[in-house]
Chains A and B, each alone.
Chain A
Amino acid sequence: MTGAAPSPNASGDLPAAVRQALAVAEPVGGARAGLTSDLTIDETLILHSVAWAPRDLVVGLSVQSVPSSIWSWGSGEIELASRAHARAFAHAVARLHAEAVAVGAHGVVGVHVERRILASHIEVELVGTAVAPADAPRIPDGQVFVSDLSARDFALLLAGGWRPVALAVGASFTYAPRRAVGAALRQQTQNVELTNYTAALYDARSTAMERMQRAALDAHGAGIVDVTVTEGPLRFAAHAIGFTAWGTVVVPASSSQTIDPLTVVSLDDAVNAFDVAPLA
């Protein structure tokens, strides 16, 4: 638990090596000196089709330490872990955002979320491609969005009359309750719901989702799409369970939100090779 975290808002927070790499990528005399992107050719073309272009590959990373003693005993929520996770995410997003601002992007798409939750620290690593409409001027920093939608989904979202505004994240870590030995023995042969477990997990999951929602409301979003809910026991602490929910916050961008889907039948798949395996 570091008390004073580095202020992640200013681009002055970026390591010197990062700033150097960005300086190379920044436009020199109107021409672009270099461009890195992890988009596929298809995705780049799709972006061009909605008049956007990739600017640069951007990264945000944050590691928060947690006392390793917090995982094993207790009841209810493991608040230190939940807070450390929230802070790790917030800092990583802020750094990603700062890098995007530095290259004059309007947003970041295709953000890959890599997390490592270990007994001693929580690590969040985000990698995405900064994008901007072709030849568009810079926009205020606050309007630069971060989204985990792929370039494909991003183009589709724009075509459907919506735009992404932010990445909303919520997490909750909780101790699994323990069952009294007597109760466990009594219930050995019965079909019963374990109400205390159910309530604890239900609560933790709802809390994670609620935090994500609050982040979306703070970003003045109309909704969250493509929500990923991950959960599960932590490998190093059998009695602790982590729930995380994240998704892209969207707002309507135009008055009409219609797409006109065309139904197609693909004529691929023609070859169904019949494979005769030798009989064992």
Chain B
Amino acid sequence: MSDAPKDLPEASERRLEEIEHGLFTSDLSVNEFLLVKEAGYHPLGLVMGSSIYHTGLQTRKWGESQELTKLTEAMYNARELAMTRMEEEASELGADGVVGVRLDVNYYEWGKDAAEFIAVGTAVKAEDGVSRRNALGKPFTSDLSGQDFWTLLRTGYLPQGLVMGTCVYHIAHRGLGQTLATTGQNVELPNFTQALYEARELAMTRMQDEASQLGAAGVVGARLEEKTHQWGSHTIEFLALGTAVTRTADEITLTPPVTIISLDH
């Protein structure tokens, strides 16, 4: 499908070399940074992957709800490219994982039909020297914040990977007859309901499939995003994102939380 450059660009190689010489960079805030250290991990560097992707065309039928497979494929492919490059950068640094991953989509004026997919996160390495890579031998990825990462480890779980499922769905327009028939009434609109339902289910199932490929026990922090990007109101991308986790042999060291009443306003 893609003729992507397999190697990372030169500037990125140079940047990573500097990091290997001991300097760390991280977009974690101070408390996230201290918590990641506290959890026994050392931040190595800010890693990123990016791909500018041209999305193809697909004809939609005005009155028919359907998945637009070509667009779904594009969304998947572009994000995979960005994520893979981020993982490559992390591997280059000898990282065990990447925390605080953000996935963004940017549009530029000079590329109306193209979008930049970008993945950024902080590569971390366990300080005890034991590899924490995931079932596929790659650094784990996770969109959890430093705080969530610390809490997760304290409860004996380890992130395995940022998993996602996407589905671009075209929702049928309602015909004039249908619209007239329901004017002034309280009724469910079954075609809209069904279309949205199915699209969400598809996205979530795909996310779960990715999680089971990683041998995960579950997905935490899952969320569902809906975006129309630049396709008009009836074509929606449903994106399910979450962090797949597995149970480790570590004991649960999270102390019972203290309840507080804050006096702030």
Give chain A's interface residues, CB within 8 Å of chain B: 149, 153-154, 156-157, 160, 176, 178-179, 187-195, 197-199, 201-207, 209-210, 212-214, 216-217, 221-229, 231-233, 238-239, 241, 247, 257-268
Contacts and interface: CB of A to CB of B under 8 A. Distances in A.
Contact of A263 (B14, B113, B114, B254): B254
Contacts of B73: 191
Interface stretch (B44-52, B201-209, B218-226): B44-52
Contact of A193 (B18, B25, B53, B57): B53
A226 B27 contact: yes
A206 B9 contact: yes
A213 B150 contact: no
B77 to A, nearest CB: 6
Contact of B260 (A160, A212, A217, A267): A267
B111 interface: yes
Contact of B30 (A157, A204, A258, A266): A157
Q: How many B residues touch the partner, as a band?
A: 35 or more
Nearest to B73: A191
B54 A193 contact: yes
Contacts of B21: 217
Nearest to A168: B25
Interface pairs A-B: 5 shortest CB-CB: A223-B24, A206-B11, A153-B30, A197-B52, A210-B15
B47 to A, nearest CB: 10
Interface string B1-30: 111110011111011001101111111111
Interface string B37-69: 110000100101011111111000000000000
Given A258-B38, A263-B258, 16 more contacts: A153-B30, A156-B31, A156-B34, A188-B113, A191-B56, A194-B111, A195-B5, A203-B11, A204-B11, A209-B15, A209-B25, A213-B19, A213-B25, A222-B22, A227-B27, A259-B34
B12 A190 contact: no
Contacts of B77: 191, 193
Given A209-B46, A217-B18, A195 B3 contact: yes
Contacts of B151: 263
B37 A261 contact: no
Q: Is the interface of A mostly helix, strand, loop or mixed?
A: mixed
Contacts of A153: 29-31
15 contacts: A178-B110, A190-B56, A193-B51, A201-B52, A203-B10, A203-B11, A205-B50, A209-B25, A213-B15, A223-B43, A227-B25, A258-B38, A263-B254, A265-B260, A266-B260
A210 B14 contact: yes
**Residue picked from A176, A188, A189, A213, most chain B C-beta under 10 Å:** A213
A207 B258 contact: no
B178 interface: no
A192 B25 contact: no
